[in-house]
Structure 1
């Protein structure tokens, strides 16, 4: 079996990594973006600009009947996941495979609860994309999508199918031998980097020069590591050390998604990041004082952005 019809829901920063290359491979009639209402109208009239090129992709509404998708990429923010699970229902057929590349450690379980594990592969992204007002800029060859079964010592037929498709599209990918460990490693890095930058209002470049910023980043990562270890996921100080070079090679002015959201006065994914750490820490009896500060501090910024503290 091969992928002949594909869909994407969530044409934001992560979605922009996939959409141009998938459309170029499949053609407009075989690749659709799922959207409705004002978002559909905006995508059809203004489109999105990705690395200097404006695209107006074919849009399919959730209610629209049509061919089932061989592959669905879910790339929305965490707060939109439950709605997106319903929005793709008309696209899911007998052989459909779903990659939910969004941040966090629990999205696959939520999608599988709706459609079954036969339709869901584990996945996550490793890249930094700046997107503002429908304009995304990034090096398309720098980032990667990671995907596969929970364990990938031997590749299953569906993993090979997605691999062959990404190769045909020119989409950089990695198939982790242990995908759950990879997802937890990404989550650990995200909590350390995303939360530190958001609370302090600093770009990734600060990690090149600021010892204090790095102390906070590493301390948050260790809170995640302690939880992961308790849950049987083998993360260690060597993993934290391995991230040092990567984080310091991210373009200096790039900002993580939570800081971008705060600056745009949007709701953030703090519940997904620090909130998850605090929740699991309480459940497992593991102290998470830094993530507690991250969580409530960023929530205060969100409240400030709504004008809650405006004396008028």
Structure 2
């Protein structure tokens, strides 16, 4: 069955990677953004500005029913996932596939608890987009969505359907042979890069010029490697070295999501990153001192943003 209708929830830095190409590729009304309340009103009034062009995409509410999507893309922040799982209910039909392209390593399990694994594929993204106040500037041809079954030595029919859609719409995609390992590789990179930048207040470009920033980043990655190894997920030195080339080519001034959140006074996803490593480290008896510092240090920044230290 060809994928003809797509619903996106979360038109932020990850969502805008998909929205223009899906909207331009699919027939009118077959791509829609799911939103409600103030966010719906803002999107309808202002749209989003992508590379200098303001785009308005069709918006439907969670109450819309009778027209399920063939594919749902969840691209919200970690704090919004529980609500997003509830909001997509009327968009899920028997054949609907769900991609939860968020960071982290357990969002698929949370979605599958409600809708079943027959409706959920694994996914993650490799893209760096900075979005502020509804505006983003980025190269639409740079970035990749990775997706698939847990193992993809042979492609399932539903994976082939999603790939056919992305290929048709010009959306860069890859299907990892081992999606669990791929997700943990991305998680390892995020914990090291994202949280080091956030705690120190530095852009990605710092990794080109600072041995000290790289020492912290790499040791944090090793903490994830050791935790993953206890779970039977094989990551190691080669994977850490593989990321060095990517780091060198990120735009110098780009900032990761956690630092962007702190600078805007927003809650971060530190629980999903360092918090998850701490939890698993405690369960598996693996020491994770850098993630301990990331977790508590970034929580202090959140408290500062909330004016907790003002008399």
TM-score normalised per structure 1: 0.99
Alignment of 1:1-16 (within 5 A): 1-16=1-16
The C-alpha deviation readout for 1:163-211, integer Å capped at 9, x for no partner, is 0000011000010010000000000000000000000000000000100
SS in structure 2 of the partner of residue 13 of structure 1: coil
Distance 2:296 2:201 in 1: 15
What's the counterpart of residue 198 of structure 1?
198
Alignment of 1:1-312 (within 5 A): 1-311=1-311
What is the deviation of 1:141?
A: 1.4
SS in structure 2 of the partner of residue 234 of structure 1: coil
What is the deviation of 1:27?
A: 3.1
Instruction: Confirm or deny: 8 A CA contact 1:28 1:57 kept in the other structure.
Output: no
What is the deviation of 1:142?
A: 1.4
Distance 1:102 1:269 in 2: 11
Distance 2:225 2:139 in 1: 30
Distance 1:125 1:210 in 2: 26
Distance 1:280 1:138 in 2: 35
What is the deviation of 1:265?
A: 0.5
Distance 1:23 1:204 in 2: 31
The C-alpha deviation readout for 1:205-244, integer Å capped at 9, x for no partner, is 0000100000000000000000100000010111001111
SS in structure 1 of the partner of residue 14 of structure 2: helix
Kindly report structure 1 stretches of 4+ aligned residues shifted beyond 6 Å.
none
SS in structure 2 of the partner of residue 73 of structure 1: strand
What is the deviation of 1:25?
A: 1.1
SS in structure 2 of the partner of residue 72 of structure 1: strand
SS in structure 1 of the partner of residue 62 of structure 2: coil
Distance 2:66 2:5 in 1: 11
The C-alpha deviation readout for 1:250-303, integer Å capped at 9, x for no partner, is 000000000000001000000000110111101110000000000000000000
Distance 2:309 2:9 in 1: 35
The C-alpha deviation readout for 1:51-86, integer Å capped at 9, x for no partner, is 211111110100112311000000000010010000
SS in structure 1 of the partner of residue 253 of structure 2: coil
C-alpha RMSD of the superposition: 0.7
The C-alpha deviation readout for 1:26-62, integer Å capped at 9, x for no partner, is 1331111000000000000011111211111110100
Q: How many residues align?
A: 311
